[in-house]
Structure formats: C-alpha cells, structure tokens
Amino acid sequence: MATTFMAISQGWAWKERNASIASVLDDVDPESSWTDAMAFPSEIHVELLKAGRIPDPFKGSNEHEVQWIGEREWLYHTRFDVPELERDWKNAELVFEGLDTLCDVYLNGKKILYADNMFRTWSVSLSQDDLQDQGNLLLLHFISAKHLAKELETQYGRVRAGSTNLGDPSRVYVRKAQYGWRWDWGPELMTCGPYRAISLITYTARIEAAKTRALVSPAPALSPSFKLDLVVSGDASVVSGAKVVLKQLDGTVVLEEEVQLSGGADLKDIVSWDLKDKVQLWWPVGYGSQTLYNVEVVLLGEGDTLLDSVKKRVGFRTVELIQEPLEEPDKYGKGTTFLFEVNGVRMFMGGSNWIPAHNFLTALTADDYRAWLTLLRDGNQNMVRLWGGGVYEPDVFYDICDELGVLVWQDFQFACGVYPAFDSFVQSVKAEAEDNVKRLRHHPSLALFCGNNEDYQMVLQWGGIDALPARVLYEEVFPAVVAEHCDPPVPYHRGSPYGGKGWDTSDPTIGDVHQWNIWGGKEWPWQEYPSNGGRFVSEFGIPSFPNIKTVDYWLDGNTKDRWAQSKAMAQHDRAGSHERRFAIVMNENFRLTSDLETHIYNSQLMQSEAVSLAYRTWRREWRGKGKQYTAGVLVWQMNDCWPVVSWAIADFFLRAKPVYYTIARELSPISVGMFRTVTQNRENDRPKQFYEFGAFRSVSATIEVWGTNATLTARDVRLELSFVDLYSDWTQTSTLAATLLPNQTTELVALRVPGPAAPSAISVDPSHSVVVGARLVDAASGEVLARYADWPQPFRLVDFPDPKLDVRFDGASVRVAVEKPIKGLFFTVDEEGEGEGEGALALGRQETVRWSDNAIDVFPGDPQVVQVRGLEGKRARVRVAYMACERGRVVYEQ
C-alpha cells in the first residue's frame, strides 16, 4: 500500500492536571473538565489567553501574574479513528515534530513515549494491536520543565549560566528553549504543549530520509552535479525501484530517471547526474539569482505501484569558511581571515542576529516569517545568525531564506552557560543534532553550523571555572554529526565567539568576536567602535526604545507610568545595569529631557549613530585580497520576542527603527564612508570622544573618505564633498574623480576640514560647527549612488538651526528639501485603526506603510526623494522628527 499521512490536528482539548488524582489516566474523565483547543499546534499560555483565563503577559507587569503556569502540569488529549478498511499496512508510526518539553505520551491507556527534548522529532512505532477502528485516545501529559531543572541541578550541581536576567542557571539541564527562562531582552514564560505537528504515518515501506546532494565542483569550474541517497523504513524487500525527477519551479523537467533498487534499506548514489549546462547556480542576494529546483522521489514496488514519495527543494552552490593567513598586519596584528566564500566569490557578510520572534511560537505564521526576513533582505542584509538560546526554526524559515538569498548561520541550541555532559544528556543532544542537521542540510542558504553561543567566552569572563564539560559536544559530537550527514559539506565553527590561543574569545585577529565592551561590559563610548572590531564581528549592539505606539501598547492606558524611568518601563527593559548604561551614553551625547517622545527619539538616534558607525568603519576593513581584515558584521539583534526596550533594529510589531535604515545604507552595494579626527588643543585634555566632542575648542579636524563597492566590477564615480557651517552662511564644495575597485573598499581622500574664518582674537578651529556631506555619483549617468553626512559631536553641544524643512508628497514619492542641514529626519505614520488586534497572539500584520529610505540627513541644494508604499487609500497622518524637533510634527494628513 502507498504511504499515508494523517495529521492528528482536530478535536484537541486541554486542562490542568489534577494533582490529587494519583494516575494521570484517571484524570481523563470527566470530559466536562476539558476545554477545546482553539488551534493546533498549541501552547498552554496561548490557550489560557484565548480562553480569557489569564491577562496578556506582554502588557504592564502581567508577566508576573502568569508564573504559576510553569509550575503546574498540563494535559492535552484527542481521539482519532483508524478504520479497519484503511489497515492494509504493515507499519505505523506516530510522529511528533515538537513537544515542549517534558511529556509522557499515552495511546489508548498505554504509555508509548517519554519526551524530554523540545528540539527533537519523536517517532513511535505502532502495531495493528495498538490502534482501534474508532476513538483512539491520544493523551499528552506535560510535566514542569522548571521543576525537573531544579531536580537535576540538585543531582549534578549548580553551575554558572549567564549573568543579569539570563534565567535560572538550572536551565542548562533541560533541552528547552533557553530564552523562555528569561533573558536580558525577554520575559520568563515557561510554555508547554504540542507546539509542532503530530502525524500518524502508515506504510509497507517508506522513505525515511532522502539525502539530496546538490554538488558543485570548486571554482573556477563550478560544474554542478546531483546525487541521491535513500534510507528506507519498513519492508525493504518490497521495494523494486525509484523514480527521481529534477524540475524547475515552474514544473519544467530538467532530468528524470527510473532506477532499479535492491539490497537493503540504506541506498547510496541511486542516481548520479552530471548537470553541466542544465542548471543554474544559486547565489546569495546581490550576487546573482536565487535559482531553486524541486527534486521529486517516488518509491516503487512491484508493478510500479506507489509506495511513497517525497519532494525537496534544492539549490546548487558551494560555501566555504576561509581561515587563512593575512598578507599584511592591520592595527590588531596579522592573524587569519574569517570569511565566507560562495561559488568561488569571497563576500562581506552584513546582517543580523535572530532570536525567536515570539515567546509563543505557535502564534507565528508563515507570513510573519516572510515579513521579517523580507525586511531583513530589503535592508541589504545577506546573512542571519540564528542564536543559540532560541530554537531551530521551522522549515518555512529556511525555505524563505533560500528564496531571498539570505545566508544562514545556525547555532546549535546552547547559550551562555556551563552545560553538562553526562551520558544521557549527550545522547539526547546527539539525536537532537542529527534530527536538525538532516532536516536542514539541503538548504542552499545554510552557510554554517556553530556549536554554541558564548559558552567558551563565559568561562573566560567569569573565571574560577576549571572545566567546560560540554566541550565533548562542541568539539566532538557536533562536528562529527555535521561531517557525516552533510554533503556538500557545511562549515562548522565550534563556538561564537571563538578564536585565539587558549579559548581567547576576544582575540581580534582570529575567529569571530562579540564586541560588548561598548554599551555593556566596560561601557566604552560608541565612538570607540572603529578601533574595536575583529576579523568577523558576529555580535554587537546598542539598545533603544521602540516606537511610541509599542510603548503605549505595554502601558495599556497606564498614563502615570508614561515616563522613561517608570516601573512599567523597567518591566520592559531587561538589560543588565540598563539604568546606568543608558544614563551614561545618553548624558554624554544628548541633552537631558523629561519628555518621553523626545527621549525615545534620542535613544533611537543614539542606536542608529552608534551601530551605523560600527558597520561603516568595520566594513572599511574589507580591503581586498590578502587584506580582508573584517569580513562580516552581524548586529545584535534583528527582532524582539515581545514588546520591549532592546537592541532590536525593528520592534516586536515589525516597526523598523531608524537604525534599520542606516544599516541598509551602510550595506548598499555602493556606499561612502567618512571619519573625522579632531586634534585636541591640549595633550592632557579629555579623551577624543568628549572632544569637539566636548569644549568645541579644537586645534583642527581632518576627515578621511572612502568608498565601498560590493559588486564584482569596478565603478567610475565622482566624489562630491559639501562643507556647510551651521551658524553662518559659509559653504564650500570640492569634487574628485575616482574608481571604486570591485569587491572591496577604496580610500578616496584625506583632508583638513575647512570652515569660516575664525575671529582673530581666539585660536579656535572653525570646523567645530561644520557639517561635511559626501556624495558618490556615477561618472557616466550622474546618478547619486550613496550619501553620508558627518556632524560634530556630541549632539548635546550642537545648536541645531532651523532647517526650513520642506516636505512635499506626490503620490508615492516624498520630496524633502532644506535650507540648513537636517539631522536624523525620521518619518512615522499614524494609521486609523492601526494596532487593532496587536498583542501576545496577533502581531497585527495588516498592510503597513513602508519607506524606501528613512532616518536621513539632508543638505541644502541636495533634495532627496523617498518612496512610500502602503499609504494610499488610508486615513493617516505622517509625522517627522529630527534633531531640534524630536517630538515630531505632522507634515501630511489624508
């Protein structure tokens, strides 16, 4: 018989386990005590919220009112039929794609499974006798992961696992998403439930695994080929052959073959095709097309009867992690590269770190994932790192990355802790790794598996820890699983960060680094980013408040707490020492304010200026072959799991912050960068970040200007520099012809910043009030390719003049012009009805307004035009905010 899949997704109900009843099987009746599940897959918090039994944990301090849920035990049950007429099979399996987390599973009163790992796919073989024609009772008993964690901690000992707000250290003993225990950007919400699909599979013989091997020979040949391995479950003797078809996504057949099979369940190279000139390569975004193909495999029995079929989507590409000696040292020393090469092309990786986009994973839809990843791609990002304290995301996440050309750095799910390595734990984790490597290996977007997040770093950072037991996982188990199951190979990196001698995770010359001395750790000023990078910066960031509408959501009408340091704000700001760290960086750079809207804008501009400086100056170090000193920058973080003050560049409701747009400009195929160095007027004066920067009495200032060309062809450009004094009518311009070399940065010019004549009585350099604007213009067409403006700092000492802002709407085009330079012009839209349905269960994915560019600096004589999508036909008001108008004002209403 053909394999059948029956989704067990209907008729589910749930209840709290009655602890006074000794046997869980006796707790099934009475039926009246059960509540019908509103959706499946399911999580208990979602069901309780939909049933009106708990408040929205994302509002106010309600998180604390729902902690009891994680202390209790919960039951789910359903009934399903397997009619005798449908029993022409020899084998059956119940497959659980995700149980969160500790679960006893009973079928018709018989315990068939104990699941203790949220990240595994569990499969239970059944016989004919295990199933009834009607009313098969499937019962799931979820046990408190929180309680088990504490029991294991008592047995094996308390360990270090994170610092402020990184959850209870006992979390390391349970294979449950670590962020659910609380993190420094997320709440403690200990979920449970069948959070992914459950199916009954019946068959005589079926395809347990299809290892599609989309191979490409090394550059320069880059010749594609295809091989296929099969693992057959059930009665392999009934298998006579297989039909394999490679198709374009439109259904056009590229190649097909029917092969005879015999000889067992593990079948190697059942087809081996040379596909030269038959298929196109898959490329990351910006370097070529994301060409994908469907592979269809049909397992055949006697007389070509259908036994089973599977379909996978593949792309043909090579990917390598290149760690080779650099030809020349940079400011950190010599060391080695840490760069990704795809199809023989070395590429600078610019992207984001990803955390789960919701504390309740079942609330996320395929459309939500597509919205997030499209936003990332549209921001000129080409890599996303799936952080090790979340989950292995569902298949749709990686499918979308394949389609968009976004490369995936996939951490194994370990983060910030001293994890154990007792035998049963290691075996469970090995099975977890095998499940997920096999599930993900065919995706062309998959660029790296990484052993953990910051576990090596934590040992060094804390001190006093003489062993890291889980090294056996990071250094033996994981690399062996990746090597065995991935063909073509997928690079493996044992931890992030990792490199240097003796686990030195902060060595900027080897491996990757996480840069937290700025903002966290040592609280260095953001102006120190240029001299504190590394070969690949896989984490760094600066937090900010989200959109004011997101803040008002969690305030939930609480007007007395509508100020920056209130209790309600603290509840939604989890960063360690956030009060002191925010106070330092805000006080250094911005004028103090008690106005919430102004404070929010200033925090967002702070994040935008700091993070864009890091991207700009670190990307500068992509200097060409032999001098690719920095090969990637991934900001912490892309997204949020609830409404919160955090490092996210777009908040929980998908509202992009200013930093999203400034990152997008820094990662454009063509960009221009500038760095100002101010000469102190006394050698023993304050550090540079407080200089002109402080007293605004400098001796002189110089700028260095460079261009970045991420394309693979040289580009002839014209550099146009504009110098504008903020406090007078003085201006000056200069022009330089240049060629931007391909796939690297090109230094363009270094010069002293000019300015208006200073009064003869004082020896103060006039550059302290001069804003410098740079444009790169295509030499042939005159098209403006890139802009950047360098302003005196700190902003609290700048007296921003009235820019005489002129904003004009013409359909989807918005023209912005000024008479004086404007800093950080940020458009927001208030839509009628916006936010209805937003909350813990609905992200409010109604069509939203999107800007082609935003958070812009505009110069006199250089009007800019941005495109707005989604505004037409809506009742809405457009507001703008900028420095000296931080609260914003309405510029358009319809």
pLDDT grade for 373, boundaries at 50, 70 and 90: very high
Question: Once rounded to an integer, what is the mean pLDDT over residues 291-319?
Answer: 97
Q: What are phi and psi of 529, to 5 degrees?
A: -55, -40
Mean pLDDT computed over 220-224: 97
CATH class, domain 319-411+508-665, is: alpha beta
Q: Which of 506 and 492 is assigned the larger pLDDT?
A: 492
CB-based contacts of 173: which residues, under 8 Å, 6+ apart?
Answer: 148, 149, 152, 153, 156, 420, 425
Residues 660 and 658: their CA atoms lie apart, in Å, by 5
Confidence (pLDDT) at 841: 77
d(CA 624, CA 332): 17
Supply the pLDDT for residue 74: 98
Architecture category of domain 668-798 in CATH: Sandwich (2.60)
Strands 715-725, 731-740: parallel, antiparallel or unpaired by DSSP? antiparallel
Tell me what the mean pLDDT of segment 864-875 comes to: 92
| Mean pLDDT along residues 839-851 | 69
pLDDT digit string, tens, across residues 106-149: 999 999 999 999 999 999 999 999 999 999 999 999 999 999 99
Residue 669 has pLDDT above 80, yes or no: yes
Which strands sit side by side in the sheet containing 876-882, from one edge to the other?
856-858, 822-831, 876-882, 885-893
Write down the residue that tokens 């053909």 correspond to. Answer: 2
Buried b (16+ CB within 10 A) or exposed e, 778-806: eeeeeeebbbbbbbbbbbebbebbebebe
Distance, CA of 265 to CA of 244 (rounded, Å): 17
What pLDDT score does 840 carry? 75
pLDDT at 697: 67
List the one residue out of 223, 829, 363, 327 whose CA is nearest residue 628: 327
The answer to whether domain 4-200 has CATH 2.60.120.260 is yes
* Residue 762 confidence (pLDDT): 58
Average pLDDT over residues 716-735: 97
Would you tell me the crossing angle of helices 366-378 and 395-404 to the nearest 10 degrees? 30
Mean pLDDT value of segment 777-805: 95
- The number of helix segments (H) and strand segments (E) in the chain equals 13, 45
Q: Which of 308-322, 472-486, 689-703, 782-796 has the lowest mean pLDDT?
A: 689-703
- Asked whether residue 690 carries a pLDDT value surpassing 60, the answer given is no
- pLDDT at res. 579: 86
Average pLDDT over every residue of 861-868: 97
Write down the pLDDT at residue 708. Answer: 98
* φ/ψ of residue 433, rounded to 5: -65, -45
Tell me, what's the pLDDT at 30? 76
Q: Active-site residue 454, yes or no?
A: yes
Judged against a pLDDT cut of 70, whether residue 448 lies above it is answered with: yes
Q: How far apart are CA 381 and CA 397, in angstroms?
A: 16
Name the pLDDT band for 838 (thresholds 50, 70, 90).
low
Burial letters for 261-276: b for 16+ Cβ neighbours within 10 Å, e otherwise? beeeeebeebbebebe
Tokens of 353: 């770190």
Does 693 score more than 50 pLDDT?
no
SS3 string, 719-778, reads EEEEEEECCCCCEEEEEEEEEECCCEEEEEEEEECCCCCCCCCCCCCHHHHEEEEEEEEE
Q: What is the pLDDT of residue 843?
A: 57
Write the DSSP symbol of residue 477: I
| Domain map (residue ranges) of the chain | 4-200, 319-411+508-665, 668-798, 800-894
- At residue 694 the predicted structure's pLDDT band, cuts being 50, 70 and 90, is very low
**The predicted structure's pLDDT at residue 688:** 60
Check whether 759 has a pLDDT greater than 80. no
DSSP 121: P
Q: Which has the minimum average pLDDT: 212-226, 630-644, 738-752, 754-768?
A: 754-768
How much is the pLDDT for 753?
93
Q: 800-894 architecture in CATH?
A: Sandwich (2.60)
pLDDT score at 837: 64
3-state secondary structure 20-46: CCCCHHHHCCCHHHCEECCCCCCCHHH
* E strand or H helix at 568: helix 567-571
Domains 4-200 and 319-411+508-665 share a fold: no
Phi-psi region of 212 (alpha: psi -120 to 50; beta: other; left: phi over 0): beta
Locate the DSSP E strands across 277-392. 293-300, 306-314, 319-322, 339-342, 345-347, 349-354, 383-386
Determine the Cα–Cα distance for residues 160 and 128; give it in Å rounded to an integer. 49
Query: Among residues 153, 454, 720, 831, which one is catalytic?
Result: 454
Give the separation between CA 389 and CA 394, rounded to whole angstroms. 15
Short-list 520, 508, 514, CA closest to 411 = 514
What is the arithmetic mean of pLDDT over 767-784?
96
pLDDT class of 848 with cuts at 50, 70, 90: confident
Tens of pLDDT, residue by residue over 68-96, are 999 999 999 999 999 876 677 889 999 99
CB 772 within 8 A of CB 723: yes
- Write out the H or E segment, with its range, that includes residue 215: strand 205-216
Q: At what angle do helices 596-619 and 578-589 cross, to 10 degrees?
A: 80
Least reliable range by pLDDT among 212-216, 595-599, 695-699: 695-699
Could you read off the pLDDT of 614-631 as tens digits, one per residue? Answer: 999 999 999 999 999 999
pLDDT in tens, 33-67: 999 999 999 999 999 999 999 999 999 999 999 99
Answer whether 138's CB lies under 8 Å from 79's CB.
yes
Among 725, 161, 689, residue whose Cα is nearest residue 452: 161
Instruction: Give the pLDDT of residue 723.
Output: 97
| Angular region, 97: left φ>0, alpha ψ -120 to 50, beta rest | alpha
Q: Give tens-digit pLDDT for 179-217.
A: 999 999 999 999 999 999 999 999 999 999 999 999 999
Q: Which of 348, 347, 369 is nearest to 358 (CA)?
A: 369
- What is the torsion angle, in degrees rounded to the nearest 10, for the CA atoms of residue 847, residue 849, residue 852 and residue 856? -150
Chain CA centroid to CA 859, Å = 34
> 205-216 and 224-234: which strand pairing?
antiparallel
In the block, residue with structure tokens 């990184």:
166
Q: What is the pLDDT of residue 766?
A: 82
Q: Which residue has the tokens 């110069």?
A: 859
Q: Give me the residues paired with residue 815 across strands.
A: 808, 865
Question: What's the average model confidence in pLDDT over 267-274?
Answer: 96
Percent of the chain with pLDDT over 90: 85
